[in-house]
């Protein structure tokens, strides 16, 4: 099932036993939410939202796979042409994900709805930037005893990862497309890793949305629907920055 790997936990012992007990309860609650059958109206909303995200992901994934295949077969020119297309598709999915996370946060703050959430797992991300944010979320979750605080912090962490990988992906893709990459193979490796991390954010968002809908009162479904589906994409990041996660000196 989508996102099922995100619900795995390992037992801990010693001085972190009480933290583990709390995390285990959180994760078990998320498991229960994921397996729950949603009422018709909530189920329809969940299906519509996930279908849109999955469609955007499929277009990105197929295009990137084709581009990587072209380069592997020595057809570098065609692969470079596809790199910028991949960046556009990456932007579309990233912006839709950030808009969805924003709708969850806006509704949660206005109506007070907040589901049980499990902290991000560092090992589910591959780029150093995403791993750092996930690690911080996991560490801070140990001191955020409030379910509401944990929910909003996870939303912000996911949005930050999505924004960061979006900026990095476009920079690496544009270097490939305009021929300025000193090591194109390293850039392609970076695109593959950043694509993986965006997919992880998609799975985390899907699980989070299901838990949110489980906690959402029936009277709030329609207002939330308007936020989730009618909202336009989030503004694209405008602060170019480079973490140089794959650069070699």
Tens-digit pLDDT profile for the chain (249 aa)? 444 444 433 343 444 455 455 657 767 888 998 999 999 999 999 999 999 999 999 999 999 999 998 877 766 666 688 899 999 999 999 999 999 999 999 999 999 999 989 999 999 999 999 999 999 999 998 887 688 999 999 999 999 999 999 999 999 999 998 888 878 889 999 999 999 999 999 999 999 999 999 999 999 999 999 999 875 554 555 444 444 443 332
The CA-atom distances, in angstroms, between 198 and each of 75, 124, 166, 168, 223 are: 26, 11, 8, 11, 28
Question: In total, how many domains does the chain have?
Answer: 1
Residue 39 lies inside a defined structural domain of this protein: no
Region class of 14: left (phi > 0), else alpha (psi between -120 and 50), else beta = left
Residue 168 lies inside a defined structural domain of this protein: yes
Residue 241 lies inside a defined structural domain of this protein: no
Residue 40 lies inside a defined structural domain of this protein: no
User: Angle, nearest 10°, between helix axes 40-72 and 184-215?
Assistant: 170
Residue 238 lies inside a defined structural domain of this protein: no
Residue 76 lies inside a defined structural domain of this protein: yes
- Rounded Cα gap, residues 198 and 85, in angstroms: 16
Stated as kind and residue range, the H or E segment containing 243 is none
DSSP, res 121: P
Containing structural domain, residue 82: 4-33+48-230
């Amino acid at each position: 099932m989508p996102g099922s790997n995100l619900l795995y936990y390992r037992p801990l012992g010693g001085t972190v036993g009480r933290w583990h007990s709390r995390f285990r309860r959180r994760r078990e609650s998320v498991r229960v939410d994921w397996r729950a059958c949603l009422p018709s109206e909530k189920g329809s909303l969940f299906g519509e939202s996930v279908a849109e995200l999955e469609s955007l992901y499929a277009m990105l994934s197929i295009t990137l796979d084709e581009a990587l295949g072209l380069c592997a077969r020595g057809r570098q020119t065609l692969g470079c042409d596809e790199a910028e297309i991949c960046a556009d598709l990456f932007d579309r999915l990233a912006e839709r994900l950030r808009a969805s996370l924003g709708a969850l946060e806006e509704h949660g703050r206005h109506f007070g709805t907040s589901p049980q959430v499990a902290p991000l797992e560092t090992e589910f991300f591959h780029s150093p930037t995403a791993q750092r944010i996930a690690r911080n979320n996991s560490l801070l979750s140990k001191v955020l005893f409030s379910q509401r605080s944990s929910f909003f912090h996870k939303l912000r962490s996911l949005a930050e990862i999505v924004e960061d990988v979006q900026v990095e992906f476009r920079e690496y893709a544009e270097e490939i497309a305009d021929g300025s990459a000193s090591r194109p193979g390293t850039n392609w490796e970076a695109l593959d890793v950043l694509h993986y991390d965006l997919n992880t954010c998609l799975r985390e968002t899907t699980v989070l949305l299901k838990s949110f809908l489980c906690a959402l009162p029936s009277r709030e479904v329609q207002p939330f629907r308007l936020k989730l589906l009618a909202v336009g994409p989030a503004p694209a990041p405008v602060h170019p920055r480079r973490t140089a996660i794959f650069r070699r000196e």
